[in-house]
């Protein structure tokens, strides 16, 4: 059963710094020449308001905030006369004192008093309107805060800071209301953030300043959340994508975008976002959990297991992660064993070694993986020595192009081997002959339907000017053919889906992905099929259990058989069938028999009994006609038999 995503609430808030951070002491400031000069001027004429004001400003600019507060307050006491110049100075003092009391002293009441005094002298002062709104909001009086913000917006409709503050205060109200929040309030919050981004980001191609980004990123992220909750998926994707474009390392926007893709059942895109979120903050368990869920939906069981394992290491008490880690273990082990044997038969030993190593990382005592890994190591060592010897012989025979090819094969098996590396670097191969060799071997592999090796050889040839044109044309021919294979697999998958043959649809989508793992239709189709199978499995299981409770064993049996037809490995359904019949379901028996035969074929192949391997894999196809691994292995084995016959 697919687990439910864990959600993470987002508080869209940004601390607006009215003053620089990191206050200094008066003694530190006293060493500054500018401050010393102002202090001398005040000492010479202690009743001069301008000197006092200049000293206050000097303290403020040097981040000596406590002496700055004292100096501004002294200045205010001196400003007793009228006139515009004194009013302007008084307004400056009141505004800066409001900011200092708000941030440095954390004194909202005195901050409000000074901001009000500034506004009485200078009614439209933008900084004071913003500042007093923050002080009121921090004092727990959001209504007064929004009233002053509205004044700021009325005075200047493009006041981005005021727009953002208004949106965040409304958002705080919405979050405090929880599920009881009125739709009208949700609409107000959405509208406020939309107005904020319209003003701050009128042209999406522009590069806003860091201060503006600090407003836009949380605004777009919160909008993405609101759109997601309202079911407006595309709007959510657009808003969150813009947040990411502005701040690629923003965890919140990537996390929420992953949730949106989950709702759209676009698991490939979901994996991309959650993987980046985990890269940004590896200790975020919720991101890892959701990434694991996405991997399950894509049937990437080993990758899912890795995420749940990482969660269990971060929090050993997380029972849900531990349960899923155990639940996916068998699937992950089987998947990696199958991949390892497929790569082994394709003689891609490094990939086979990685796959069997992954099995042992999950199940250190796995006998099959240990045996196969030993065989892989044996083949890699044997192959390395064979290629190294061949390279040395080729060098002696002055066949440098053959030497290069042999050394490349040796280094593919032991990438860091100093002897092979040194020999390769010392060779100046006849490039034209080497390229011809790559082109010919690619053509031979292509004729034998060994498309992986064909691509490998032609890609090597493409790396040289002498072979670029021919290799590019050959690769285009290959890609056209593999594109046709993908097209055929997708066509078969669509037909199977239309006929409600979901297992066959799944295998055909997987066959398309085996050729092109990035294919969007195949990824989306696989996600759709997996969802249908999951939903139908739940429905049949529920009906089966109800029938069991009602004593209707015949109906129960039919429902549980319907489950194993969709998912032969379903543990719950198989358990109930064993309980009813005393034996495994037919589907489970067939699956186990096919699995046993598949590995028998691998053993035959490993021991160079190629014909026996082919015959055994053909038996697999009688049970499971859509088994792509058996199909591929037969093609490889028959190509090998043909090559041996031509020797």
> Is the same domain home to 543 and 614?
yes
**Which of 333, 309, 303, 306 has the alpha carbon at shortest distance from 321?**
309
**What pLDDT shows up at residue 30?**
67
Are 346 and 457 contained in the same domain?
A: yes
The whole-number pLDDT of residue 102 equals 92
For residue 464, being part of any structural domain is answered with: yes
Q: What is the pLDDT of residues 545-575, one digit of tens each?
A: 999 899 998 999 999 888 888 888 788 888 8
User: What gap in Å lies between CA 606 and CA 609, rounded to an integer?
Assistant: 7
Identify whether residues 394 and 468 lie together within a single domain: yes
Q: Return d(Cα 386, Cα 294) in angstroms, integer.
A: 43
Residue 461 lies in a domain: yes
Long-range (24+ apart) CB contacts under 8 A made by 506-511 are 506/530, 506/533, 507/626, 507/627, 507/628, 508/626, 510/299, 510/628, 511/626, 511/628
Residues 429 and 531 in one domain: no
Residue 7 has pLDDT above 80, yes or no: no
pLDDT at 21 over 50: no
Phi, psi (5° rounding) for residue 398?
Answer: 60, 30
In this structure, the answer to whether residues 567 and 460 fall within a common structural domain is no
Between the two ends of the chain, the Cα-to-Cα distance in Å is: 53
Confidence of residue 28 (pLDDT cuts 50, 70, 90): low
Please check whether residue 273 is in contact with residue 257, taking contact to mean a CB–CB distance below 8 angstroms: yes
Residues 551 and 631 in one domain: yes
Considering 457, 474, 491, which residue would you say is the last residue of a domain? 474
Does some domain include residue 405? yes
What value does the CA radius of gyration of the chain take, rounded to a whole number of Å? 35
Q: Token pair of 238, please? A: 């657009």
Domain-terminating residue out of 474, 490, 512: 474
Query: What pLDDT, on the 0 to 100 scale, is given for residue 216?
Result: 95
Instruction: Give the model confidence (pLDDT) of 92-121 as tens digits.
Output: 999 999 999 998 999 999 999 999 999 999
pLDDT, position 167: 93
Query: Does residue 445 fall inside a structural domain?
Result: yes
pLDDT of residue 618: 92
Regarding whether 549 and 452 lie in a shared domain, the answer is no
Distance CA 266, CA 522 (A): 11
Going by C-alpha positions, the residue among 632, 242, 613, 245 that lies closest to residue 450 is 632
Q: Residue 545's domain spans which residues?
A: 527-645
Cα 60 to Cα 125, 233, 393: the distances in Å are 20, 48, 80
Tell me the C-alpha distance between 389 and 406, whole Å.
Answer: 9
| Confidence at residue 79, expressed as pLDDT on a 0 to 100 scale | 86
**For residue 1, pLDDT beyond 60:** no
Predicted confidence at residue 247, as pLDDT, reads: 93
Query: Is the domain of 539 the same as that of 438?
Result: no
Residue 647 pLDDT: 59
DSSP assignment of 334-393: HHHHHHHHHHHHTT-HHHHHHHHHHHHHH-TT-HHHHHHHHHHHHHHHHHHHHHHHHHHH
CATH number, residue 550: 1.25.40
Of the residues 441, 474, 507, which one is the last residue of a structural domain?
474
What pLDDT is recorded for position 3? 58
Average pLDDT, the chain: 86
| Distance of alpha carbon 11 from the chain centroid | 21
pLDDT at 238: 94
Clarify whether residues 463 and 353 are in a common domain.
Answer: yes
Asked whether residue 169 is assigned to any structural domain, the reply reads no
Q: Look at residue 154 and tell me whether its pLDDT is greater than 80.
A: yes
- Asked whether residue 433 carries a pLDDT value surpassing 80, the answer given is no
Confidence band, pLDDT 50/70/90 cuts, at residue 10: very low
* Residue 410 is assigned to a structural domain of this protein: yes
Number of domains in the chain: 2
Q: Which of 276, 350, 336, 342 is nearest to 303 (CA)?
A: 336
Mean pLDDT, range 270-295, rounded to an integer: 93
* Higher-confidence position of 126 and 194: 194
Domain-located, residue 385: yes
pLDDT at 430 over 70: no
Q: Is residue 54 part of a domain?
A: no
Q: What does the DSSP assignment read for 515-534?
A: H-TT-HHHHHHHHHHHHHHH
Question: Are residues 571 and 464 part of one domain?
Answer: no
For the entire predicted model, the pTM comes to 0.65
Q: What does the pLDDT average to over 506-516? A: 84
Query: Does 19 score more than 50 pLDDT?
Result: no
Predicted pLDDT at 508: 87
Q: What is the rounded distance in angstroms from the CA atom of residue 250 to the CA atom of residue 233? A: 20
Q: What's the per-residue H, E or C state across 256-283? A: HHHHHHHHCCCHHHHHHHHHHHHHHCCC
Alpha carbon distances (Å) from 45 to 27, 69, 515:
22, 20, 86
- The pLDDT, as a whole number, for residue 33 is 83
For the chain, percent of residues with pLDDT exceeding 90: 36
- Residues 341-373 have pLDDT tens digits of 988 988 888 999 999 999 999 999 999 999 999
Lowest mean pLDDT among 106-110, 177-181, 325-329, 580-584: 177-181
Read off the pLDDT of residues 206-222 as tens digits, 9 standing for 90 and up: 788 899 999 999 999 99
Q: Are residues 343 and 461 in the same domain?
A: yes
Residue 13: the pLDDT is 26
Residues 450 and 537 in one domain: no
């Amino acid at each position: 059963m697919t687990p439910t995503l864990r959600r993470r609430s987002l508080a869209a808030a940004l601390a607006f710094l009215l003053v620089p951070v990191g206050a200094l002491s008066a003694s530190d400031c006293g060493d500054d020449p500018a401050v010393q000069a102002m202090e001398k001027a005040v000492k010479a004429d202690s009743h001069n308001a301008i000197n006092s004001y200049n000293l206050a400003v000097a303290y403020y600019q040097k981040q000596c905030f406590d002496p700055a507060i004292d100096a501004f307050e002294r200045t205010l006491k001196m400003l007793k006369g009228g006139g515009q110049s004194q009013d302007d100075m008084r307004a400056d003092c009141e505004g800066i004192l409001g900011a200092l009391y708000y941030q440095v002293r954390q004194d909202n009441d005195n901050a409000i008093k000074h901001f009000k005094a500034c506004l009485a002298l200078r009614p439209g002062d933008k900084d004071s309107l913003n500042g007093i709104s923050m002080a009121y909001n921090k004092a727990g009086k959001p209504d007064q805060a929004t009233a002053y913000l509205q004044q700021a917006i009325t005075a200047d409709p493009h006041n981005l800071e005021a727009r953002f503050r208004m949106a965040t205060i409304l958002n705080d109200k919405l979050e405090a209301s929880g599920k009881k929040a009125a739709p009208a309030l949700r609409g107000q919050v959405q509208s406020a953030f939309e107005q904020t981004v319209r003003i701050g980001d009128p042209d999406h191609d522009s590069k806003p300043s860091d201060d503006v980004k600090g407003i836009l990123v949380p605004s777009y992220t919160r909008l993405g959340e609101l759109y997601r909750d309202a079911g407006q998926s595309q709007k959510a994707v657009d808003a969150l994508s813009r947040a990411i474009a502005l701040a690629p390392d923003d965890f919140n926007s990537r996390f929420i975008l992953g949730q949106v893709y989950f709702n759209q059942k676009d698991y490939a895109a979901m994996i991309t976002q959650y993987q980046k979120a985990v890269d940004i903050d590896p200790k975020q368990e919720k991101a890892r959990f959701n990434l694991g869920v996405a991997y399950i939906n894509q049937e990437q069981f080993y990758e899912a297991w890795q995420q749940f394992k990482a969660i269990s290491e971060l929090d050993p008490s997380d029972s849900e992660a531990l349960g899923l880690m155990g639940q996916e273990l068998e699937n992950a082990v089987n998947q990696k064993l199958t991949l390892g044997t497929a790569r082994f038969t394709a003689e891609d030993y490094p990939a086979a070694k990685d796959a069997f190593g992954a099995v042992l990382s999950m199940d250190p005592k796995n006998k099959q993986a240990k045996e196969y890994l030993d065989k892989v190591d044996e083949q890699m060592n044997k192959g390395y020595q064979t290629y190294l010897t061949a390279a040395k012989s080729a060098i002696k025979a002055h066949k440098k192009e053959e030497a290069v090819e042999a050394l490349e094969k040796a280094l593919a098996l032991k990438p860091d081997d100093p002897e092979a590396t040194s020999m390769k670097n010392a060779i100046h191969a006849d490039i034209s002959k080497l390229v011809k060799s790559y082109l010919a071997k690619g053509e031979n592999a292509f004729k034998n339907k060994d498309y992986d090796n064909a691509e490998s050889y032609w890609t090597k040839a493409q790396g040289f000017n002498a072979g670029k044109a021919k290799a590019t044309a050959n690769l285009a021919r290959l890609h056209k053919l593999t594109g046709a294979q993908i097209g055929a697999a997708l066509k078969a998958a669509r037909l199977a889906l239309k006929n409600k043959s979901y297992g066959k649809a799944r295998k055909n989508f997987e066959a398309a992905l085996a050729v092109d793992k990035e294919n969007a239709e195949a990824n989306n189709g696989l996600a759709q099929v997996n969802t249908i199978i999951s939903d139908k499995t739940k429905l049949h299981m529920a009906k089966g259990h109800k029938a069991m409770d009602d004593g209707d064993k015949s109906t129960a049996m039919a429902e549980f058989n319907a489950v194993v037809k969709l998912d032969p490995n379903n543990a719950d359904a198989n358990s109930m069938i064993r309980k009813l019949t005393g034996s495994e379901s037919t589907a489970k028996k067939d699956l186990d028999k096919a699995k046993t035969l598949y590995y028998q074929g691998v053993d035959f192949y490993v021991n160079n009994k190629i014909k026996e391997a082919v015959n055994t894999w053909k038996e697999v196809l009688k049970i499971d006609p859509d088994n792509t691994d058996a199909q591929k292995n037969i093609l490889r084995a028959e190509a090998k038999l043909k090559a041996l016959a031509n020797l």
